[in-house]
Amino acid sequence: MTSIWKHYRFLILRRLTQVSLMFLYFAGNVWGWKMLQGNLSSSSVLGIIPLSDPFAALQMFSAGAAMATNVILGAAIITIFYLVIGGRVFCSWVCPVNLITDSANYIRRKFGFNQIQKKQPASRNIRYWVLALSLVLSYILGVTAFEFISPISITHRSIIFGLGFGWAAMLVIFLFDLFILKNGWCGHICPLGGFYSTLGKFSLIRVDHDEEKCTVCMKCKEVCPENQVLFMIGKSSEQILMGECTNCGRCVEVCDDDALNFSIRNFIARNKDVKKN
């Protein structure tokens, strides 16, 4: 039992946060609970505190909308929150699409797809192009371009407000991640992930690698959805500072050697590195 907890503690906590957030939103719509109303685009906590998706706000701005105070305030709160706990914590702890892509990835690992398809044919930087394109198209079309096609919004709205054909978007993402590209949606295309990656470059909570304890078993790299961020495994002791790290904690819990742990960003060590360069 303790071994299960040790090896899956963050996964369990993540699923718990994802599911309970969705449940609170659902209850907010169906039974009028005030705890959390709205959805991931914008919500109201206890009917007082506004929360807004900063990427949606950015698209509104570039579409030329008059920005309401509540949206700006809500986006600021969310931005500061993820600046502290890690940009892509949204992706691994909140976003419901993560459940879909993680399950596709789980099947890939169990059936050994990754051994057959070793090299991934697409760049992980596509998301930044999609991110830029969202803002350009918002400006040209005068509407929030990504919000009208976002499978993330379709998914959470489907959960909270009813399904419609929303299942099709979910199925497409699942099949895409399962058969076409490993970590295809979350790790390559999603511009919201790209947005939070940019935030994540500056965030406070970091995974720390201790090379002296590492036995180079590579379990962390196998389980990591963004394994390019773990380039230093077995090579040097340093913090995972790339913005793409989702702080999901899978590497921390699969590590049997205690070589990976959560910690606070080490500003002094980083400055030393800068000097060396």
Partner 1 sequence: MATDRRKFILNIARGAGLTALGGLMWSAYVDEVTANKLILRPPGAIKEEDFLKTCIKCGLCVEACPYDTLILAKPGDNKPLGTPYFTPRDIACYMCDDIPCVPVCPSGALDESSVTTNGKLDINIAKMGVAVVDTKNCIAFWGIQCDACYRACPLLDKAIYLQYDKNDRTGKHAFLKPIVDSDFCTGCGLCEHACVTKKAAITVLPRDIVLGAVDTNYVKGWDKKDEERLKDAKEIHTVTKMSERKAVDSLNDMGGLLDD
The verdict on 105 binding partner 1 (CB under 8 A) reads: no
Residue 126 CB, shortest distance to partner 1, in Å, is: 8
CB 253 within 8 A of CB 7: yes
Q: Is 141 in the site for partner 1 (CB under 8 A)?
A: yes
Q: Does residue 92 belong to the site contacting partner 1 (CB under 8 A)?
A: no
Q: Which of 10, 14, 21, 44 binds partner 1 (CB under 8 A)?
A: 44
Task: List, in sequence order, every residue forming a beta bridge with 37; answer none if it has no partner.
Answer: 44
Looking up tokens 């963050």 gives: 10
Please answer whether residues 9 and 86 qualify as being in contact, where contact means their C-beta atoms are separated by less than 8 angstroms: no
DSSP string, 45-85: ETTTEEEE-HHHHHHHHHHTPPPPHHHHHHHHHHHHHHHHH
Q: Quick check: 100 binds partner 1 (CB under 8 A)?
A: no
What stretch of H or E contains 209?
strand 205-209
Site for partner 1 (CB under 8 A): which residue of 17, 29, 237, 239?
29
Q: Is 246 in the site for partner 1 (CB under 8 A)?
A: no
Residue 260 pairs in a beta bridge with 209
The number of residues that bind partner 1 (CB under 8 A) is 52
**Applying CB under 8 A, which residues contact partner 1?**
28-29, 32, 37-39, 41-44, 50, 52-53, 56-57, 60, 63-66, 68, 70-71, 74, 129-130, 133, 136-138, 140-145, 147-149, 153-154, 157-158, 160-166, 168-169
